[in-house]
């Protein structure tokens, strides 16, 4: 039940099939991983698709994911539970598992994002970015994770220094996002986009390390117009062992289409040998 049935690599790699009352089958496809573990936003898209099917809605509005164990290529199932069916929105919970190993829990609100009221306040703007061709491609031939070969990312040169050991010192990442081969970025793909960029703290004055996500929430405000997204991810507080990463996704028309926030763990120093 998709508003403009998406076809393409991402749509295929996140598709689900109903297998019973509230249960769906899908697969973690190879190549969507960071160091062997499926990208979180990609996994979340699978969970969201199962809940869209279960609720009969077309768009995720708010999706929260908790990542329970790493996703590896292979079949997965999603057991959904519709918690509320309202006039405008429906709520549901899903548990995505590989066999009996839980990968992801999802709590979400789903609706149909048409007929949006006019904007009242926009206290912000899309990040200023050089044209995509003048930005930094995350090249899987030069060490970028496989996942980044399945989407198109272009980082602002000022935010890509970490790749060459010249980090900016500012925990911020901005850049362009789209899917490969002109595939439409639908509202489910926004969930993937919101978790597709390298962590902000790659640019902070901290040892370079991946940051485990405790919790991830994306709020989808509108369907993006086709084209590149402009994305900004920032971190203001690295405190008490935690950091937040706040995302803004703007479509090609300059409209805010999604916000995201995740809580992540600051990597702990390895114990002395």
Which chain residues interact with a second copy by CB under 8 A? 61-62, 64, 66, 68-69, 83-84, 89, 91, 93, 95, 102, 105, 107, 109, 113, 116-117, 119-124, 171, 204-206, 214-215, 217, 219, 221-222, 235-244, 255-256, 259, 261, 263, 266, 268
Cβ-based burial of 166 (10 A; exposed 0-12, middle 13-18, buried ≥19): exposed
Min separation Cβ 37 and a second copy, Å: 16
If one counts every other C-beta atom within 10 angstroms of the C-beta of residue 177, the result is: 22
Q: Which two tokens stand for residue 70?
A: 């790493």
Q: Which is nearer to a second copy, 120 or 128 (CB)?
A: 120
Give the residue with the Cβ less far from a second copy, 30 or 254.
254
Alpha-carbon torsion (20, 23, 29, 35), positive or negative: negative
Nearer of residues 33 and 91 to a second copy, judged by Cβ: 91
| Shortest CB 46 distance to a second copy, Å | 17
Number of C-beta neighbours around residue 130 at 10 A = 13
CB 9 → a second copy: shortest distance, Å? 28
CB of 96 to a second copy, least distance (A): 11
Sorted by sequence, the CB contacts under 8 Å of residue 221 that are 6+ apart come out as 113, 116, 256, 257, 258, 259
């Amino acid at each position: 039940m998709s508003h403009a049935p998406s076809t393409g690599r991402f749509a295929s790699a996140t598709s689900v099939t109903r297998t019973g009352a509230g249960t769906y089958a899908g697969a973690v496809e190879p190549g969507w991983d960071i160091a062997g573990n499926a990208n979180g936003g990609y996994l979340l898209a699978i969970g969201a698709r199962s809940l869209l099917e279960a609720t009969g809605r077309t768009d995720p509005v708010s999706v929260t994911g908790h990542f329970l164990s790493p996703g590896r290529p292979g079949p997965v199932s999603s057991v959904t539970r519709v918690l509320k069916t309202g006039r405008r929105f429906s709520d549901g919970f899903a548990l995505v598992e590989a066999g009996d190993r839980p990968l992801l829990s999802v709590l979400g609100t789903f609706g149909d994002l048409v007929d949006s009221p006019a904007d009242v306040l926009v206290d912000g703007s899309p990040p200023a970015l050089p044209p995509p061709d003048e930005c930094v491609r995350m090249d899987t031939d030069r060490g970028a994770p496989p996942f980044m070969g399945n989407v198109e990312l272009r980082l602002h040169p000022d935010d890509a220094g970490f790749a060459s050991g010249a980090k900016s010192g500012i925990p911020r990442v901005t850049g362009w996002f789209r899917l490969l081969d002109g595939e439409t970025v639908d509202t489910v793909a926004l969930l993937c986009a919101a978790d597709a960029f390298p962590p902000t703290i790659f640019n902070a004055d901290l040892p370079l390390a991946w940051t485990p996500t405790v919790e991830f929430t994306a709020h989808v405000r509108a369907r993006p117009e086709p084209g590149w997204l402009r994305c900004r991810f920032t971190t203001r507080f690295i405190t008490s062992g935690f950091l937040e990463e706040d995302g803004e996704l703007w479509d090609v028309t300059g409209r805010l289409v999604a916000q995201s926030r995740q809580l992540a763990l600051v990597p702990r120093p390895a114990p002395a040998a």
